[in-house]
């Protein structure tokens, strides 16, 4: 009887543990600071204010990371409340030594900060061979440097930069003319901010929670990443196994581990919380828990029609 009771208790405990999801780490994205050397910014005919650039980009990044379901994201309202309670301005927390304090005040496991170094539009001449005409082509450049601080250790776990260029001819090619028919400069700004936030968000996820193989079935795999978090149909991913851990010979700090390529997959469908991919190579070696890193994206569809919808675009 005693053995039966012990077995039942053990079974119930296991069931509770299995049903309880793992606690998500908390992440706070502070408003990205605009470099003081930047004076005025514009995209096409639209002037982008300092507040718009700093807050809107941060909001898009928060939205992207929330869709990944990997973090408990603090809202701008929660961050603003903490800053107000401690009488901190957005310029004060960016001072040396203040970032660690902000992580503790926010009770966040990870703190993301960054600087917008460039946001500018330039006209580049483009020669048309058939007609002999010279057409101006607009190129908008968005450069961001960012870092992630782990509050428990006070260490920077990732520091990187992203440079995104939005070209007028690229927009005409990728987005159908009917869709762009009533676009204004604000739509081009939204597209640039969304693309850049996606790239920064993917870099953050790859550094902390890379895409992994969740299930292997015949010639397919299930990935633990769904829609809205950077994964798209047609993308190719290298599949990697984690090798031996590497430590610093001087400090003993864990530097990471070697990654050994075992195959390649192509994303075939994307659902809300997961994705399906076809195994291109390495079917015998790909296993559950293997890391997937983006290789390249195949563009689909035909080229969009070329009528312009606003001056310069």
CA distance 164 to 119: 10
- Higher-pLDDT residue of 17, 1: 1
- Segment (H or E) for 78: helix 76-85
SS3 content of the chain, % helix, strand, coil (to 5): 30, 35, 35
Domains by residue range for the chain, with CATH:
24-208 (3.40.50.10610), 211-297 (2.40.10.410)
Tell me which of 153 and 97 has the higher pLDDT.
153
Residues counted in the chain: 313
Average pLDDT over residues 19-37: 76
Residue 168 has pLDDT above 90, yes or no: no
Higher pLDDT, 13 or 189: 189
Measured at the CA of 269, the angle between CA 266 and CA 271, to 5 degrees, comes to 135
pLDDT band at 128 (very low <50, low <70, confident <90, very high): low
Question: Poorest-confidence range of 89-103, 184-198, 233-247?
Answer: 89-103
Residue 209 has pLDDT above 60, yes or no: yes
State the pLDDT at residue 14: 43
Contact 229, 67 (CB under 8 A): yes
Whether the pLDDT of residue 11 is over 50: the answer is no
**Mean pLDDT for the chain?**
77
pLDDT at 310 > cutoff 80: no
In whole angstroms, give the CA distance from residue 47 to residue 146.
24
Per-residue pLDDT averaged across 47-65, rounded? 83
Secondary structure (3-state) at 8: helix
Could you read off the pLDDT of 76-106 as tens digits, one per residue?
A: 777 777 777 666 655 554 555 666 666 667 7
Task: pLDDT band for 67, please (50, 70, 90 cuts).
Answer: confident
- Return the pLDDT at 13: 47
Which of the residue ranges 28-42, 231-245, 277-291 would you say has the lowest mean pLDDT?
28-42
* pTM for the structure as a whole: 0.72
Whether residue 5 has pLDDT greater than 60: no
Q: What is the mean pLDDT of residues 220-237?
A: 89
In whole angstroms, give the CA distance from residue 30 to residue 158: 16
Neighbours of 195 (CB within 10 A): 16
Going from the C-alpha of 290 to that of each of 35, 155, 225, the distances in angstroms are 39, 26, 13
Which of 210, 191, 194 lies closest to 202, judged by CA?
210
Token pair for residue 126? 């483009």
Taking the C-alpha atoms of residue 122 and residue 134, their distance in angstroms, rounded to an integer, is 16
Cβ atoms of residues 212 and 291 within 8 Å = yes
């Amino acid at each position: 009887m005693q053995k039966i009771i012990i077995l039942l208790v053990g079974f119930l405990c296991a069931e509770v543990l299995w049903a309880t999801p793992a606690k998500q780490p908390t992440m706070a994205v502070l408003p990205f600071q605009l470099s003081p050397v930047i004076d005025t910014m514009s995209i096409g005919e639209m002037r982008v204010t300092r507040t718009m650039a700093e807050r809107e980009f941060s909001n898009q990044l928060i939205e992207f990371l929330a869709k990944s379901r990997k973090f408990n994201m603090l809202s701008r309202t929660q961050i603003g409340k903490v800053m107000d309670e401690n009488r901190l301005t957005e310029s004060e927390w960016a001072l040396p030594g203040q970032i660690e304090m902000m992580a503790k005040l926010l009770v966040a496991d990870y703190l993301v900060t960054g600087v917008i170094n460039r946001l500018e539009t330039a006209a580049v001449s483009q020669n048309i061979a058939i007609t002999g005409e010279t057409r101006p082509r607009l190129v908008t450049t968005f450069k961001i440097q960012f870092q992630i601080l782990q509050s428990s250790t006070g260490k920077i776990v990732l520091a990187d930069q992203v440079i995104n260029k939005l070209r007028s001819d690229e927009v005409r090619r990728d987005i159908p003319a009917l869709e762009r028919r009533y676009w204004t400069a604000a739509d081009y700004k939204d597209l640039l901010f969304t693309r850049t936030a996606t790239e920064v968000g993917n870099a953050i996820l790859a550094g902390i929670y890379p895409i992994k193989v969740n299930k292997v079935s015949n010639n397919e795999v299930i990935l633990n990443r769904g829609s809205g978090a950077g994964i798209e149909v047609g993308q190719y991913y290298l599949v990697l196994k984690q090798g031996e851990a590497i430590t610093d010979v001087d400090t003993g700090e864990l530097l990471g581990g070697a990654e050994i390529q075992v195959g390649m997959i192509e994303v075939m469908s994307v659902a809300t919380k997961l994705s399906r991919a076809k195994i291109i190579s390495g079917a015998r070696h790909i296993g559950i828990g293997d890391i997937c890193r983006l290789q390249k994206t195949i563009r689909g569809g035909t080229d969009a029609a070329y009528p312009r919808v606003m001056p310069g675009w």
